[in-house]
Every structure is written in structure tokens, then in C-alpha cells.
Amino acid sequence: MEFEDLQVIWTDQDKTPLFAFDHDAMHRKIQSRLRNSQRIASTQEWGLGLIFLAVALILVLMGQTTWIGFLPVAAALFVVGRVWVRRQRRKASLKGFDASMLGTLNAAIANESHLYQEGRTLLFWMLLPMATTSLMNMAASPTSKPLWQWLFVIGSFVLGYLVALRAPRKHARQRTSLIEVRTVLLNAKELQ
Amino acid sequence: MLEAEQQERFETWLAQYRAMFYKVMQAFAFNQADRDDLFQEICLQVWKSIPAFRGDAAASTWLYRIALNTAITWSQQSRKHNKGHDDIAQHSHHLTQTAPPTDERLAWLYEQIAGFHPVDRSLALLLLDGFSYRDMAHMLGISESNVGVKIHRIKKHLVAKAKNQPSWNSKTSK
């Protein structure tokens, strides 16, 4: 057998049907991405809610006596409340999408957009209120706090901010990738 | 470029060069889930690249180049991601119902190609599809002389291996 014979075998394959697009499988894949994104959102919501509820409880149990002492408690409860409200809104908005492939894809995009928005605004609704009220509380304390405590608290919030900066990037990438899939799906009759 | 124009070109090319995409998928991805993933990636890259198509090269050459470069990058990333574990969840999805080659000689040919290094794999596909050395060098960003050396090695390897398949040699001689 010579190379030309191999080339004939190779060229002959163009005469046979090659592949067809499996609509159901694509749908399943998109559904799985939506479930994954919903799971991440739920974990974050429950995680943040429980952590800040615990923070509020610990602060109360520590025996706050002044109104400034209750400010961090209020900030922590504000975070819990906001997370709960946003969760309800997110779930309600997802109900608006139908079960079709495009509907599922749009729901996945909406969910990723929600996660992206939450990550992007984390500084304003979580870090800043908690940092400001905690520092105010420390400043109003009758006994002056040692320098290391100030540095520790400020450092923790700066570190939290730096970590929070990275989170939205991942969701932005996921969202872009889903939007690209939607563009291809909408524009290719082959794939519908 | 208008979006409608981009859409029309994408649909036409996807249908027209279906065989070419199939060959790249078969040569670079070895299970259904991976082929789906690669197909999706190639589609995305083609869609994104359409506005950049100026018509300096033939559409087939240009698309082959995109498909091969995507496949090479994908296979490197895929190897990195799948190292050490087999993602069972991936195997439950089949975006494309790919028909395996029915001709045993063709299946063997794909098997041989799959054994090559990604660049040699790309060269083997281009060689079998009758592209010139110049086109191959341009597509893969390597010199023509380098293409010549690699092609010589690929041809020698394939012919030598094929000669060890006695049942085919009798088929060919008929």
C-alpha cells in the first residue's frame, strides 16, 4: 500500500454522512450549567447569611452597652437581610424563564449576572458597613486598643476586599461564555 | 460587518465544511464528550473570527487553520484539566452524534494520526486533504522546510505501518 492509496481511503469519507447535532444533549448540558450556577449562588447566600447571623449573635452575647456597640450588630443583620432579599429576587426572576433550551440558557446567564453583580458590589453592602461600624466601635471604646488590634481589623478588611475583587471576574467569564453559546445557537440553524 | 451577514456566512460554512470539522474532531478528541466540547469551541472561534476574514486565503484554508489552532490549544488545555481524573459527568453529554468511521482502514488511519504530536497530527490531516507545503507552513506558523521534513517522516511512518496490514494489501491489490 502506498501513500496515495491512504489518501483515497481518506477522501472517500467525505461521501458518507458524518455527524448530526444532538439537540437534547445540548439542552442537558445547558441545564447542568444552570444547576451548577444556582448551586454556587445558593451556597454563597446560605454561607454569608449564617456567618453574619453568627457574627451578630456573638456581638450581642459579648454584652454591648452603648449604641455604637450595637452598630456592627446592625451592620451584620443588614447583610443577612440584604442577602435574603436578593436571594428571593433572584429565585423569582429565574421562574420567569421557560424550560426551553434558550430559556434555560437565558436563566443561566441571568444567574451568572446576579453572581457577578453581587461580587462587584460586595464592597458597598458588606465590607464598608462592617468595617466602618467595627472601627467606630473600637474608637469609642473607653480603653484604648493596642496598635496590633487596629492593624489586624483594618488588615482583615483590606484582605477581604482583595479576595472579593477576584470573585466577579470568574462570573464575568462564565457569563461571557454563556452569551457566546447563545449567540451561536441563535445564529446557527444547524444547532437548533 | 453586519450581524446578518456574519450569521449567513457562519451557517453556510458550518454546512459546507462539516467534513473538515469532523476530521479535526476525530483526530483531536477521543471520546464523544470531548468531541462535543471541541466542536463547541471550534464553532465559537469561527463565529468570533468571521469579521476578520478578508478573503486573502480560501475559506477552506482559513477555516482549517482556525479549527486546527483551536484543536491544538484545546488538546493542551484539555490534557491539563483532565490530568489525573476522568470526569464521568462529561461523558453523559453528547452534543453531536458522531458516526464512527465505518471503513476499518479509515478507523486505522485516524488511530495512527491520533498517535502523533498535535502539530504532526495537523500536518497529517492537511497532507491527506491535499494542501500544499506552503499552505501548511502558513497555517501552522512553521517554515516550509520544516513542513517538508515532518511530512516525509509522517508519510514514511504511515506507509510502513500500512504495509503491516496484510488484509488491506490484498484489498488494494484487487
Residue ranges and CATH numbers for the domains of chain B are 1-83 (1.10.1740.10), 103-164 (1.10.10)
In sequence order, the β-bridge partners of residue A19 are B98
Contacts of B129 in chain A (CB under 8 A): 10
Q: What is the pLDDT of residue A138?
A: 85
CA separation (Å) from A137 to A80, A125, A126, B79?
20, 19, 17, 53
Let me know: does A83 contact A115? Beta carbons within 8 Å.
no
Smallest Cα distance from B28 to chain A, Å: 16
Which of A4, A10, A24, A30 has the highest number of chain B CBs within 10 A, making it the mutation to test binding with B? A10
Rounded distance between C-alpha atoms, residue A14 and residue A9, angstroms: 10
Residue tagged 499552505 (cell numbers):
B135
> Per-residue pLDDT tens for B55-69?
777 888 899 999 999
A87 alpha carbon, distance to own chain's centre: 12
Residue from the list B11, B18, B165 with its beta carbon closest to the beta carbon of A18? B18
Chain B positions touching A16 (Cβ under 8 A) are 99, 102
Q: Where does the pLDDT of residue A38 fall: very low under 50, low under 70, confident under 90, or very high at 90 and above?
A: very high
Contacts of B25 in chain A (CB under 8 A): 19
Mean pLDDT of chain B: 79
Residue A11: Cβ within 10 Å count: 13
Nearest residue on chain A to B110, alpha-carbon basis? A10
pLDDT of residue B168: 65
Sequence spans of domains, chain A: 44-191
Q: Which of A88, A169, A82, A167 is CA-nearest to residue A130?
A: A82
d(CA B136, CA A3): 18
Beta strands in chain B (DSSP E): 96-98
Q: What is the pLDDT of residue A188?
A: 53
Q: Is the separation of the CB atoms in A76 and A56 below 8 Å?
A: yes
pLDDT at A20: 56
Question: How large is the ipTM?
Answer: 0.76
pLDDT at A114 exceeding the cut of 70:
yes
Do residue B47 and residue A189 have CB atoms under 8 angstroms apart?
no
pLDDT the model gives residue B6: 79
Check if the beta carbon of residue A68 is closer than 8 Å to that of residue A136: yes
**pLDDT tier at B47, thresholds 50, 70, 90:** confident
pLDDT of residue B91: 34
Q: Which residue has the higher pLDDT, A25 or A182?
A: A182
CA distance B148 to chain A (A): 15
Using CA coordinates, name the residue in chain B closest to A182. B44
The Cα A192–Cα A171 span in angstroms is: 26
**Cell 512553521 identifies what position?**
B142
**What average pLDDT does range A31-57 have in this prediction?**
92
- A140: Cα within 13 Å, side-chain hemisphere: 15
- Residue A111's alpha-carbon distances to A26, A170, A177, A178, B88, in angstroms, are 19, 13, 13, 11, 25
* Alpha carbons B71 and B52: distance in angstroms, whole number: 19
Contact between chains at A22 and B102 (C-beta distance less than 8 A): no
- Closest-approach residue (CA) in chain B for A30: B93
More confident residue, A17 or A65: A65
Query: Could you tell me if A33 and A179 are in contact, meaning their C-beta atoms sit under 8 angstroms apart?
Result: no
Q: Which helix H or strand E contains A20, and what residues bound it?
A: strand A19-21
> Per residue in B74-125, pLDDT tens?
888 766 444 333 333 333 334 455 555 667 888 888 889 988 988 999 999 9
B162 — contact with chain A (CB < 8 Å)? yes
Cβ-based contacts of B14 with chain A (< 8 Å): 188, 190
Distance of alpha carbon A33 from alpha carbon B87, whole angstroms: 15
d(CA A86, CA A114): 9
For position B82, what pLDDT does the model report?
Answer: 47
Whether residue A190 is predicted with pLDDT greater than 50 in this model: the reply is no
- pLDDT of A186 higher than 90: no
Query: Is any Cβ of chain A less than 8 angstroms from the Cβ of B110?
Result: no
Residues of A within 8 A of B165 (CB-CB) are 1
In chain B, which residues have their Cβ closer than 8 Å to the Cβ of A190? Answer: 11, 14-15
pLDDT at site A17: 58
Out of B3, B6, B158, whose CB is closest to A6?
A: B158
Q: What is the mean pLDDT of the segment spanning B22-36?
A: 83
